[in-house]
Every structure is written in C-alpha cells, then in structure tokens.
C-alpha cells in the first residue's frame, strides 16, 4: 500500500481537513465506500494543489471559492 505523508504545516493541516470533509461528502452524496471516497478526494485535493503551484495567483480565487462553499454549508446546516 502506498501511503502519503501529510505535512503538518498550516497548509498540510488545511489539506487534511479538506480531504476529510470531501471524503465524507462524497461518501454520503454518491453512496461510495470510504476507500472510494478517500481515493477520489485525494485526487481532487492533489489536482487543486498542483493547479495552485502552477499558477500561484489562482490561490486567492480558490481560497475565496472555498470560503463561499464553507459559508453556504454552514447556512444550510442552520
């Protein structure tokens, strides 16, 4: 099994939190097994991370989008 090491910098913590939240979402919304959802989540987070590294100025836009999604999620839960 290939295990990915998580860096516990603020960025690494944010990635781990995003991975956990996205995994739960995919598992519930698409009726996936935990392993399937985790695999898909890791791929999505990896692709976003690569996109940010390739185009650093896009980071601000992605952060704003993530904030909007989080705000919408909280407003739906209340």
- 75 to 24, 31, 68, 69: CA distances (angstroms): 18, 24, 11, 10
pLDDT at residue number 1: 45
pTM over cut 0.85 = no
Q: Within a 10 A sphere around the Cβ of 24, how many other Cβ atoms?
A: 14
- What does the pLDDT read at residue 55? 77
Would you kindly state where each structural domain of the chain is located, as residue ranges? Answer: 11-77
Q: Under a CB-based contact definition with an 8 Å cutoff, are residues 16 and 6 in contact?
A: yes
Q: Could you read off the pLDDT of 17-57 as tens digits, one per residue?
A: 888 888 998 899 889 999 999 998 888 888 877 877 777 77
């Amino acid at each position: 099994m290939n295990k990915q090491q998580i860096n516990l910098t603020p960025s690494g913590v944010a990635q781990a939190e995003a991975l956990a939240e996205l995994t739960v979402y995919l598992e519930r919304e698409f009726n996936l097994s935990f392993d399937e959802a985790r695999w898909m989540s890791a791929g999505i987070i990896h692709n976003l991370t690569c996109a940010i590294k390739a185009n650093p100025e896009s980071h601000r836009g992605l952060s704003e989008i993530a904030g909007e999604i989080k705000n919408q999620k909280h407003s739906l839960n209340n």
